[in-house]
Structure 1
Amino acid sequence: MANKNGSLHIFFLPFMTHGHMIPCVDMAKLFAAKGVRTTIITTPLNAPIISKAIEKTKNHQIKEIQIQSIKFPNTIDTGLPEGCEHSDSLPSPDSFLDLIIAAKLLQEPFEQLLLHQRPNCVIADWFFPWATDSAAKFGIPRLDFHGISFFSLCAYKIMRLYEPYKNVSSDSESFVIPNFPGEIKMKRLQVGEFVMKDDVSYCNFWKELKVSDGEGKVYGEVVNSFYELEKDYADHYNNELGRKSWPIGPLSLCNKDKEEKTCRGKEACIDEHECLKWLDTKKGNSVVYVCFGSLMNLPDSQLGEIAMGLEASGQEFIWVVGKRKEDKEEWVPQGFEKRMEGKGLIIRGWAPQVLILEHQAIGAFVTHCGWNSTLEAVTAGVPMITFPMSGEQFYNEKLVTEVLKIGVPVGVEKWGKLSADSNVKWDAIEKAVKMVLKGKEAKEMRNKAKLLANMARRAVEEGGSSDSNLNALIQELGSLSR
């Protein structure tokens, strides 16, 4: 379809955190590969991150993707430190809401771009509810990009409609999610304060989302998933909950070679060749990969339990711990790193996750169940050990462990704000690792995961479900602009 859609122009507006920017850039590349003129709108300090990812694209059929910068509000208006335009530069995780609020001040310069360039469509992150009204001012359809699964989209909608957590007598009592495919049980502890109580700090933000989301103001949604993975929930979302959506993922599969996969997000703090060379020395399906995403924070006490669990399991591992304030061993048992030399690779910072997951030596992934990580594991055919913390991660855990049956939970019970709010003991981690790698169900989980990986790749191939959905969406947007 390349070149047929050159007159169609789409603005992409990603939120300023890696978990939102990475899939949005991948999506822009997908549209561009179909010949659509694409412009990514961001702030000056985020532009180089996006530019680097685009420069490594090897598909010469893709027209140049434009990056348009709009000035981020100054510190007087936002209360954020100078140069704080990304979640990485926030003073603390508690400042995340400040970043969302500050982003509202991008509305005026964004509308100036709409006025002068008049794109045919705006695809904006759901953290920008104001983009709906901005697009409407110029008669431009706005598509939402949530960056989460159909399962979670349905669950969020139902929780806010029916409030089933109010029908139990305690936080630890289970309830069944009503009007939802399958008998999925949750606990009030796992739902999240911002859903249950309209947490005061997020109250205005949720009100804006409800207004933007309601009354048909949003034209539809693009979803980073593929139909075969969660068809019951995709159908439920569209047919029962009355949404209009297009699953066009897995978006990460638009990156074809090592260089493209390495340059998503931040620069890796370990050379990918060194990392892959280390994995090349290991047996197939023998290494545990441990990573909790770009935003999540774990206390030192929990990191210590994870270290003891990994050591007790006897398995080799790659563990992305992020950058520690102190480069000492206080967060792990004494002598742990020395004992694990050759057996465990600890990465302090950013890692080339897609490349690691795709390596044949990886047999399990200990994950926080963020959707990007979850879908990347599905795409690589790797079973998961689920360790949810925040956001929609407890829903993703249910999808992985109870619906897809390609993972086991470590037993996290309580939702927290960008952090684990419960202390999982080392023996639970050891048990989960052994179940996924050596237990009687391990082979069955691995086979299911490999089957889903094959489905994922077929979905994005020409004529596959996601490729067909993308073509249909482009055709529909083109017809709206005639």
Structure 2
Amino acid sequence: MEFPNRDSKIPILVVPFPAQGHLNSLLHFSLLLSSHGLPVHFASSSIHNHQARHRLQGWTSASLHNITFHDIPIPSLPPSTPNPNSTHSFPSHLVPIWEFVIHHLRSPISSLLHSLSSSSSSLILIHDPLMSFVSDEAASIPSIHTFNFQCVPANFVLSYLYESTSKTWSDNHILFSPSPSPSPLHDTVPEEVITFCKKHYYETPCDGMLFNTSLAIEEAFIDLLAKQDDFVAGKKIFAVGPVSPLTVTDNKSGPRHSCLEWLDKQPPKSVVYVAFGSSTTIPVEQIEQIALGLEKSKQRFIWVVRDADRGDVSQEAEPEKVKSLLLDFEKRVEGMGMVVRGWAPQLDVLAHGSTAAFMSHCGWNSCMEAMSMGVAMLTWPIHSEQPRNALLITKYLKVGVMVREWEKRDEVLTWEKVDEAIRKVMVDEEGLEIRRRAKELGEKIRAGIEGGSSYEQLLAFINYISEFK
């Protein structure tokens, strides 16, 4: 497909929600659009734009110059510290931060919408659904065409839709039988988060929906979603994922991360990567059991141990509990495993030839990255859409095993269960088949990007928005 000069194309304004998983996927998608010559504007607080750029993986630093960042200044964020003893695993300490940021973004983004739309015949607005106020602001400007970008999979949107409208599933395979399916929200997030979501995530006029998913993973769910006339109502649906790169490129100068140097020395497909994302704080008792399980399994591993993000990640500090708890453990597993404190280059780790499996909280970005790289998963869902993602991985796609079942989320999982899950994937005959299916799924997903369905869906979106010029 021939692309005209960037300056002659319709501008795109991207407005992410200020949480790591949302920032990450929308920045990846922005870079994907800009790689096709589209003029992309990325607007958030200066703090969160810095976070998104700092943690970006898989793109060269030069690629960031193809995006116009609008670093909106806001007052200093209120203090925010994760609570490992909270009765709920959701990072509720961030809710006041999100309210604060959204409040201070409203007026500047409104001004930006008017400014960009007045300098072009049309403007494309792509926003996170939790930033629905942006669509409200855009509704009064006829030249703006709006799309919401879903950071969760299509099956989760379907489950939420069916729960909220009291519909019943029409296809038995959607049920993930025989495993019970958690409620999309009420079982997975605390009440204050439900209140926040209802306040900021509501239906607004839009031309379409973008999903960071692939037809290789969710074709049945995308098809079913498209049939929900009362929800879709003429909106276009585009499955453009994975939005993260398949060929990982180091975007920073200087030496590689030490964990990658360690991986280079390990045999092919021999390492379990363990990481629970940016929104999770694991209690001390559970860290002890994970450590024992990793040690007893006798399998090579990389384990990322960190608290959930604070409001401003530049103020991260290594928790004291980690220093004392893991000091002796690291000595005992020297040569067999590596503990990483703080942020790790996850895409690089998953793409590495020595990585065989990923023990994960099952955030959708992590799921997409693992599946795209053909890596089997050991699922440990913690909150939000993660329990349903774990069911998708283990019961529907069958490219992973469940480590901790959702029904036992309030219990400390013993080291024996951790050891058992690792061995099931890395040693047992069942694990060979799981890893084979994961490798096959990864090949299908990559084929979708390299000229297949995902590539066609992206070009269909680009062609569609070009008609608004």
TM-score category (smaller protein): 0.7 to 0.9
TM-score by length of 2: 0.85
Structure 2: distance between partners of 1:201 and 1:443: 40
TM-aligned CA distance change 1:388 to 1:344, over 3 Å: same
Letter of the 1:460 counterpart: I
Does the CA contact (< 8 Å) of 1:144 and 1:222 recur in 2?
yes
Q: How far apart are 1:369 and its partner, in Å?
A: 0.4
Structure 1 equivalent of residue 449 of structure 2? 460
Q: How far apart are 1:199 and its partner, in Å?
A: 2.7
Letter of the 1:126 counterpart: P
Q: How far apart are 1:52 and its partner, in Å?
A: 5.3
Structure 2 equivalent of residue 206 of structure 1? 198
Structure 2 equivalent of residue 95 of structure 1? 93
Structure 2: distance between partners of 1:113 and 1:68: 9
- Over the matched positions of the two proteins, sequence identity in percent amounts to 28
Structure 2: distance between partners of 1:457 and 1:102: 39
Bigger relative contact order, structure 1 or 2, given CA contacts below 8 A and separation 6+? 2
TM-aligned CA distance change 1:25 to 1:328, over 3 Å: closer
Letter of the 1:439 counterpart: D
TM-aligned CA distance change 1:58 to 1:344, over 3 Å: closer
Q: Cα deviations across residues 416-436 of structure 1 (Å, max 9, x unaligned)?
A: xxxx64321111111110111
* Matched ranges for 1:34-433 at <5 A: 34-51=36-53, 57-58=59-60, 64-72=66-74, 74=75, 80-81=77-78, 93-105=91-103, 106-118=105-117, 120-139=123-142, 140-162=144-166, 181-185=173-177, 190-191=182-183, 194=186, 199=191, 202-203=194-195, 205-212=197-204, 217-240=205-228, 242-243=231-232, 244-253=236-245, 256-260=247-251, 272-322=256-306, 324-326=318-320, 330-331=324-325, 335-414=328-407, 421-433=410-422
Matched residue pairs, number? 440
Structure 2 equivalent of residue 24 of structure 1? 26
Structure 2 equivalent of residue 169 of structure 1? none
Q: Cα deviations across residues 314-345 of structure 1 (Å, max 9, x unaligned)?
A: 1111000016421665545x832211011110
Q: How far apart are 1:91 and its partner, in Å?
A: 6.3
Q: Cα deviations across residues 54-75 of structure 1 (Å, max 9, x unaligned)?
A: 8994598998210112232x46
Does the CA contact (< 8 Å) of 1:386 and 1:408 recur in 2?
yes
Q: How far apart are 1:186 and its partner, in Å?
A: 8.3
Question: Secondary structure at the residue paired with 1:137?
Answer: coil
Question: Secondary structure at the residue paired with 1:320?
Answer: strand
Q: How far apart are 1:218 and its partner, in Å?
A: 2.6
TM-aligned CA distance change 1:163 to 1:391, over 3 Å: farther
Structure 2: distance between partners of 1:458 and 1:157: 31
TM-aligned CA distance change 1:278 to 1:156, over 3 Å: same
Q: How far apart are 1:280 and its partner, in Å?
A: 2.0
Q: How far apart are 1:442 and its partner, in Å?
A: 1.4
Q: Cα deviations across residues 103-162 of structure 1 (Å, max 9, x unaligned)?
A: 332122111111111161111112212112111121222211121112222222222222
Question: Secondary structure at the residue paired with 2:245?
Answer: helix
Q: How far apart are 1:43 and its partner, in Å?
A: 1.2
4+ runs deviating over 6 angstroms: 53-56, 59-63, 186-189, 195-198
Q: Which piece of structure 1 moves more, 298-307 or 322-331?
A: 322-331
Letter of the 1:472 counterpart: A
What are structure 1's unaligned runs of at least 5 residues? Answer: 165-176
Letter of the 1:297 counterpart: T
Q: How far apart are 1:290 and its partner, in Å?
A: 0.3
Structure 1: distance between partners of 2:289 and 2:55: 36
Question: Secondary structure at the residue paired with 1:253?
Answer: coil
Structure 2: distance between partners of 1:370 and 1:414: 18
What are structure 2's unaligned runs of at least 5 residues? Answer: 84-90, 308-317
Does the CA contact (< 8 Å) of 2:270 and 2:355 recur in 1?
yes
Letter of the 2:282 counterpart: L
Structure 2: distance between partners of 1:338 and 1:53: 29
Question: Secondary structure at the residue paired with 1:390?
Answer: coil
Does the CA contact (< 8 Å) of 2:16 and 2:22 recur in 1?
yes
Question: Secondary structure at the residue paired with 2:174?
Answer: coil
Structure 2 equivalent of residue 475 of structure 1? 463
Q: How far apart are 1:3 and its partner, in Å?
A: 2.7
TM-aligned CA distance change 1:348 to 1:48, over 3 Å: same
Structure 1: distance between partners of 2:349 and 2:277: 14
Q: How far apart are 1:413 and its partner, in Å?
A: 2.4
Q: How far apart are 1:29 and its partner, in Å?
A: 0.9
Give the superposed CA RMSD. 3.0
Structure 1: distance between partners of 2:274 and 2:413: 15
Structure 2: distance between partners of 1:197 and 1:294: 16
Structure 2 equivalent of residue 174 of structure 1? none
